[in-house]
A and B are shown apart, each in its own frame.
Chain A
Amino acid sequence: MRIRIRPYADFGRFFSAEPGQTCVVSIEEGATVGDLLEAHGIEASVRVTLGVNNQLAARETQLKDGDNLEVLAPMSGGSTQ
């Protein structure tokens, strides 16, 4: 299946996306968000905030063909910038 990814902050480098741009990646049926992230080098230990089709998601969220995935730096409990 094909997933459109919008990486924020510095996450673009894991998907070879230009800053502020989206890109499309392929992954096998049944994959979760976590599977996709790990396939691109974002290990489970990295704290991320995730959105699938505009809703808050988790690494366990099941993906389906055509989903829009956002990968962001988390803010809850986080920084003051």
Chain B
Amino acid sequence: MPTSVQNQILRVNLSNGRIWTEKPGISFFRSHLGGRNVIAHYLLTEIPKGSDALDPVNRLVFAMGPVTGIALPGAGRHSVGAKSPLTGLFGESEAGGYWGSELKQAGWDGLVIEGKAETPVYLWIKDQVVEIRDARHLWGQVTGPVENRLREELGDTQVRVAQIGPAGENLVRYACIVNDLNEVAGRTGLGAVMGSKNLKAIAVRGSHRVEVSNTLPIKTTARWVSHETLGEGGSHHRLHTWGTGAMVRSKQLEGHLIVHNFRDGQLDHATDIDAITMQNKVVDHMDRCFACSVRCKKRVKIDTEQVKVDPKYGGPEYETLAAIGTNTGITDIMAVCKGNEMLNYLGLDSISAGATIAWAMEMAETGRFADQGLDKESLRFGSTESVLEMIEKIAYRKGVGDLLAEGSLRAAQIIGGDAEKYVVHVKGLEVAMHDPRAMKDMRDNYPITPTGGDHTGAGLKRTSVRNTVGLCQFLQYNDAKALELLNAATGWAMTPEELHETFERGLTLARLFNLREGMTADDDRLPDRLHEPIRMGPLTNHVLSRSEIRNYVAGYYEERGWDKEEGRPYTDTLAHLNIDIEEHDIADHTSERPDPLAVGTLPYKMSHDDSNGHAE
């Protein structure tokens, strides 16, 4: 029977040059699906406890989902993971574009890289032929010229490239992995892991169509997206017309725009960088990811005397508009677009970069950066020069950039005093640009996400299922639709219960990895700043209490089948999920359920999301 899962993981050891194929079996893919669940499996199974994230033993895992690469809107997603050099915990981030579907079309469901090359190299994957090639001539270059050079060298303009920029080479702890020049696996510092392995790029060309078991539901859904939902008033129309960034004005009025290191919820002239201004002033055209008719990706072109921005580096998404825009007090759209281009060609995560700069601005403003020679004039909220200069300094670890390249939490610990109190992070990862003081889904998300302050919902069912199946979060597919698409692609006839079980399995594996690496329940919390009221706007009297978060987290542990004090998985939960305690050396991080479960009761709470679906 044709199926979209090819049962092939490409393994590469850069220390000894060994390349091999692993076939984990269809039952492995059925129980893990793909994305972050597959990543959690490899991290827990293969990385020795307590290893340094920049040591060659770290595994850099690229994982597609079962639907990645099929002809369906939203099916161009892949995930990247490793032990994070920023948090020391479960590191993972997902990206769109074309690279992941190309790797799938080359016949691979995943790619696991270990070891470290002696000198810079790149991987060339042409279907089943894989080579490790010299990349000394590419080292030190920014992303655009590297992609051009690789395409020239390989004699094929359709080659898809995932790569690091100078930031990854310089082991900036929040360097990202850039694919197709404008898509990034941004969070948790995976670019530094790639840099630590001396791996500059992975060039891919695949020539096979990914097979599916049943084309009809896939075709019908693709038609529904392009014919019905893209029309005015349809569920994808807003994204198609404006892209992300349409919410800047809503957040401004409601008073929870991210401003001045999360202190203020409003900023004068914030609409100068919203989606409408962008469309009117700088957007050249809207682009898309693989097979997606929604086309929500802004491509910005600026060609003035003062500023030039090349559309091949994309355009700022909402996170970047807020991170290097409002959070640093900038409302100059030209500067934000330039900053976005720099982040993409240098290979830096926009959220962590913007948040770290905003924290540094607050430190300079309050005199805590005097030893670094910075005061509120030299590093100032609202100064476009400060932001653009810092981005460059961080990527090349120049001057104070060397300190900020460590991430805001480490930098605060280095400068000492009470600097840590002002870092807006969860588990060492800078919090994304949505305020949990105003957004309940973020309150429910940040404290328990295994990666830390990430907004993509690794700890929540709806978002996690889409990641592991390989679907873009923006497509309005509900759980039933995601399951229908998964079954059509794979031919597995999975039930909602089995799909839910894969979510619990991946999350519990990530939890075990984190507990093994020293995380405790105390890390499942929000930073001090997010328990303070917002200084201006309609929410100034609203406080998010610590007890509200603690109660929520304890309830969340219980729903997962973990003990409610420490969040250690119960042994019966592990047995149900087929996670072997001996194999994973995790006995110290499990717990016994006080009262045995009644026969036939699930060890976790099953949930089902029916929102945002389409009725046919």
Contact = CB atoms under 8 A, between A and B. Distances in A.
Interface of A: 8-10, 13, 19-20, 49-51, 54-56, 70, 72-81
A8 B233 contact: no
A51 B238 contact: no
B438 A76 contact: yes
B242 interface: yes
B255 A56 contact: yes
Query: Could you tell me the dominant secondary structure of chain A's interface residues?
Result: loop
A56 B247 contact: no
Given A73-B246, A73-B247, A80-B456, 15 more contacts: A9-B238, A10-B232, A10-B238, A20-B279, A49-B250, A51-B249, A56-B538, A72-B253, A73-B238, A74-B254, A76-B256, A77-B440, A79-B247, A81-B239, A81-B473
> Top 10 A-B pairs ranked by shortest CB distance?
A75-B250, A72-B250, A20-B276, A76-B438, A51-B253, A77-B440, A9-B238, A49-B250, A75-B247, A56-B253
B325 interface: no
A56 B254 contact: yes
A26 B249 CA distance: 24
Contacts of B439: 75-78
A6 to B, nearest CB: 9
Contact of B249 (A8, A19, A76, A80): A8
A46 B564 CA distance: 38
A8 B246 contact: yes
A70 B276 contact: no
Given A73-B247, A80-B434, A80-B456, A19 B241 contact: yes
A54 B537 CA distance: 11
B201 to A, nearest CB: 30
Contacts of A19: 241-242, 279
Given A20-B276, A56-B538, A77-B440, A10 B455 contact: no
Interface of B: 232-233, 237-239, 241-242, 244, 246-247, 249-251, 253-256, 276, 279-280, 318, 434, 438-442, 455-457, 463, 473-474, 538
Contacts of A51: 249, 253
Contacts of A49: 250, 253-254
Nearest to B473: A80
A10 B250 contact: no
Contacts of B463: 80
A50 B253 CA distance: 8
Contacts of B456: 80
Given A10-B237, A56-B538, A73 B250 contact: yes
Contacts of A80: 434, 441-442, 455-457, 463, 473
Contacts of A55: 253
B246 A70 contact: no
A79 to B, nearest CB: 8
A10 B230 CA distance: 11
A73 B246 CA distance: 9
B280 A81 contact: no
B318 to A, nearest CB: 7
Contact of A8 (B239, B250, B474): B250
Nearest to B232: A13
Nearest to B612: A79
Contact of A70 (B249, B279, B438, B474): B249
Contacts of B249: 8, 51, 70, 72
A72 B456 CA distance: 23
B564 to A, nearest CB: 26
A59 to B, nearest CB: 14
A70 B270 CA distance: 15
Given A77-B441, A80-B455, A13 B250 contact: no
A54 to B, nearest CB: 8
6 contacts: A56-B253, A72-B250, A75-B247, A76-B256, A77-B440, A80-B434
A42 B273 CA distance: 27
Contact of A20 (B251, B280, B441, B457): B280
Which of A50, A54, A77 counts the most B-chain CB atoms under 10 A from its CB? A77
Contacts of A8: 246, 249-250, 276
Which residue of B250, B256, B455 has the most chain A CB atoms within 10 A of its CB atom? B250
Contacts of B473: 80-81
Nearest to A80: B455
A78 B474 CA distance: 13
A27 B279 CA distance: 31
Nearest to A14: B233
B607 to A, nearest CB: 18
Nearest to B238: A9
A76 B435 CA distance: 9
